[in-house]
């Protein structure tokens, strides 16, 4: 992409970015711009007051030593009015633009987080968590930075027009200086914009990589420490940080080359103005007041033009950051548009011709399965046979490539979203708990305290919860780290049970629980809840409690039946023997 195309892309995308905020908060932006224009008007008015004071008060005072006190009071009053007007304009601009910027950032962040919740689970598995956090934090903050100088930048255009007209009133030669100066600033800014886009994009990408490495190191702190990987992790972070430093230095060098030039232009203009203006005053073509007016106008332009330069500098960075976020927002979401409801009571689970794959690799290949209503099916198989994938597909968190999955005779894609969240629940081996109380982790705002107590009892978590310092209102640490693995699994199981699902999917969700306690939990599920259960099993005790055993091998169901029936198969018997040896070791 050439420089022209790059600049055109930045301005096109930047204009859309600004329009999105203007459309969402028109009155906030309008009020901020009115304040900015008021500041410009008051500033120009102040310059004319100084011109009048110079020609009508200061010069006569030097010439004949007389001053009309009434004129002095008028000038002082006008200066006060101008100062108050400038102050009100600044306050309006800063306050309302801050509201617009932060409101826009809040809305975009909410939209992004909601999109994170709507995209398929596969999206999250394919991307580092640190990268997603960088999108929600650093990228969105950077994307809205261009809004900060927006109102002032709009007022700069008005200021330039008024300034040029004022300079023409003073003298065409003075105006010519401004006409040359202002386009030069625009040209330099365009060159800067075209140069800085690519390095800014690489820098934003490097920020995400640093965040990802840091997040992985924190999440895997136990592994890092127990395996002595501290030095390796430090080296990973050093390399990522070095890349970030390198890219930011590139951006810094570009800014260092252009910013001083942009800053210097108004000051150079003032110096040239003094030379030209002094010559014009000596010729009688301009008054000293005209020279003061022109100098003040150029001085007024220094800060606004710098702000406009900041606006032009931030534009490519904001565009790059928003492009990164928009790539995420463009990801297709899981749309559950169905309106069907799952029949009341126990329901069966029927899977036919199910194919689930990642790219060209199929994890499940033509799976056929039928689990009768109200029964428990144990899903067994070697590592990588597709057990977890099967349960995730039934839960609707993984897309099907081919085949059908029906709950109570209704395809899961046809079930209404609200009905689906209460019909099916899944608990995973890796139990995630929020940094909140146990009650809130179980209820998630959907059920009352009585239901929480009931499900904690079924999950055999009521005992250890009662022994905690604050019982069920104890706040667990991040991801539930203040609890043991088995305790976390039982709380997570209680959460899955809280909505009284008709189908319960346990993806090795009790692997860290004592076998005796696990048996009690499964017995309680049978006795107190009327539901269909699919459980990934690695223990003989769990398999023996199941009504049906589903044997998976290489992504296919190779056998279905009771444990005793499947023992006739040599491969199943070998699998069971491996399970027994694993339990005994």
Q: 402 has which bridge partners? A: 355
Hey, which of 303-317, 357-371, 546-560 has the most confident mean pLDDT? 546-560
Tell me the average pLDDT across 434-442.
Answer: 84
pLDDT score, position 370: 92
d(CA 184, CA 172): 18
Which ranges in the chain are annotated with CATH 3.40.50.300?
349-584
**Above 60 in pLDDT, residue 5?**
no
d(CA 331, CA 327): 7
**How many CA atoms does the CB half-sphere of 314 hold within 13 Å?**
21
Predicted pLDDT at 171: 79
- Average pLDDT score over residue span 493-505: 86
With a cut of 90, say whether residue 27 has pLDDT above it. yes
Q: Are 424 and 410 in contact (CB under 8 A)?
A: no
Q: Round to whole Å and give the CA distance between 201 and 538.
A: 47
* Among the ranges given (1-15, 106-120, 132-146, 308-322), the one the predictor scored with the smallest mean pLDDT: 1-15
- List for the chain the helix, strand, coil content (%; round to 5): 70, 10, 20
Environment class of residue 555 by beta-carbon count within 10 Å: exposed (0-12), middle (13-18) or buried (19+)?
A: buried
pLDDT of residue 302: 63
Res. 193 pLDDT band, cuts 50 70 90: low
Question: What CATH code would you report for 349-584?
Answer: 3.40.50.300
Whether the per-residue pLDDT at 584 is higher than 50: the answer is no
Tokens for 489, please give them. Answer: 């699994």
Most confident of 55-64, 300-309, 539-548: 539-548
Cβ pair 58, 71 in contact under 8 A? no
Per-residue pLDDT of 94-130, as tens digits, reads 899 889 988 998 999 998 988 888 887 778 777 777 7
Are 314 and 98 spatial neighbours (Cβ–Cβ below 8 Å)?
Answer: no
As annotated, the residues of the chain forming the CATH 1.20.1560.10 domain(s) are 3-208+246-329
Sign of CA dihedral 228, 232, 235, 239: negative
Residue 544 has pLDDT above 60, yes or no: yes
What gap in Å lies between CA 325 and CA 116, rounded to an integer? Answer: 11
pLDDT at 583: 56
CATH of 3-208+246-329, one of 3.40.109.10, 1.10.8.60, 1.20.1560.10, 1.10.10.10: 1.20.1560.10
Bridging pattern class, strands 548-553 and 556-561: antiparallel
Average pLDDT over residues 399-413: 86
Degrees to nearest 5, angle at CA 492 with 489 and 497: 125
Residue among 355, 479, 486, 503 at smallest CA distance from 415: 503
Task: Rank 196-205, 333-342, 399-408, 518-527 by mean pLDDT and report only the highest.
Answer: 399-408
Judged against a pLDDT cut of 60, whether residue 585 lies above it is answered with: no
Convert 305-373 into a string of H (helix), E (strand) and C (coil).
HHHHHHHHHHHHHHHHHHHHHHHHHCCCCCCCCCCECCCCCCCCEEEEEEEEEECCEEEEEEEEEEECC
């Amino acid at each position: 992409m050439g420089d022209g195309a790059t600049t055109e892309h930045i301005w096109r995308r930047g204009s859309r970015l600004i329009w999105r905020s203007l459309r969402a908060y028109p009155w906030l932006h309008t009020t901020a711009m009115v304040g900015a224009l008021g500041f410009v008007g008051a500033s120009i008015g102040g310059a004319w007051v100084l011109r009048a004071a110079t020609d009508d008060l200061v010069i006569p005072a030097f010439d004949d030593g007389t001053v009309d006190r009434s004129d002095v009071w008028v000038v002082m009053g006008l200066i006060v009015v101008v100062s108050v007007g400038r102050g009100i304009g600044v306050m309006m601009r800063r306050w309302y633009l801050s509201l617009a910027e932060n409101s826009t950032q809040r809305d975009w962040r909410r939209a992004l987080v909601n999109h994170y919740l709507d995209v398929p689970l596969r999206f999250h598995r394919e991307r580092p968590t640190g990268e997603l956090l960088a999108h929600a934090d650093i990228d969105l903050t950077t994307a809205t930075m261009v809004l900060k100088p927006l109102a002032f930048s709009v007022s700069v255009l008005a200021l330039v027009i008024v300034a040029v007209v004022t300079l023409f009133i003073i003298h065409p030669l003075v105006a010519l200086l401004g006409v040359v100066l202002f386009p030069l600033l625009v040209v330099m800014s365009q060159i800067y914009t075209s140069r800085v886009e690519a390095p800014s994009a690489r820098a934003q990408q490097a920020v995400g990589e640093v965040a990802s490495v840091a997040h992985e190191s924190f999440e895997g702190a136990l592994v890092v420490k127990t395996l002595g990987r501290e030095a390796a992790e430090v080296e990973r972070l050093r390399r990522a940080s070095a890349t970030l430093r390198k890219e930011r230095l590139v951006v810094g060098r570009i800014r260092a080359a252009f910013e001083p030039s942009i800053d210097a232009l108004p000051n150079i203009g003032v110096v040239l103005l003094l030379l030209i203006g002094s010559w014009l005053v000596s010729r009688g073509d301009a008054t000293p007041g005209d020279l003061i007016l022109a100098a003040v106008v150029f001085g007024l332009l220094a800060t606004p033009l710098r702000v406009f330069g900041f606006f032009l500098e931030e534009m490519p960075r904001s565009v790059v950051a928003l492009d990164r976020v928009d790539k995420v927002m463009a990801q297709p979401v899981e749309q559950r548009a169905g309106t069907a409801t799952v029949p009341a009571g126990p329901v069966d689970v029927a899977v036919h011709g199910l194919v689930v794959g990642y790219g060209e690799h199929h994890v499940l290949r033509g799976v056929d399965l039928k689990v009768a209503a109200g029964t428990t099916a144990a899903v067994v198989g070697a590592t990588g046979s597709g057990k977890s994938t099967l349960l995730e597909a039934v839960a609707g968190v993984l897309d099907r490539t081919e085949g059908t999955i029906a709950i109570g005779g209704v395809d899961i894609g046809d079930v209404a979203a609200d009905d689906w969240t209460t019909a099916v629940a899944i608990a995973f081996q890796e139990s995630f708990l929020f940094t909140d109380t146990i009650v809130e982790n179980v209820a998630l705002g959907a059920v009352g305290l009585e239901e929480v107590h009931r499900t904690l009892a079924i999950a055999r978590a009521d005992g250890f919860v009662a022994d905690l310092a604050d019982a069920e209102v104890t706040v667990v640490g991040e991801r539930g780290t203040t609890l043991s693995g088995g305790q976390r699994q039982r709380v997570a199981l209680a959460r899955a049970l809280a909505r009284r699902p008709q189908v319960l999917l346990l993806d090795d969700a009790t692997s860290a629980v004592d076998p005796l306690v696990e048996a009690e939990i499964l017995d309680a599920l049978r006795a107190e809840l009327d539901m269909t259960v699919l459980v990934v099993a690695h223990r003989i005790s769990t398999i023996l409690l199941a009504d049906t055993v589903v044997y998976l091998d290489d992504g296919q169901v190779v056998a279905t039946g009771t444990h005793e029936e499947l023992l006739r198969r040599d491969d199943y018997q070998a699998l069971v023997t491996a399970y027994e040896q694993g339990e005994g070791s």
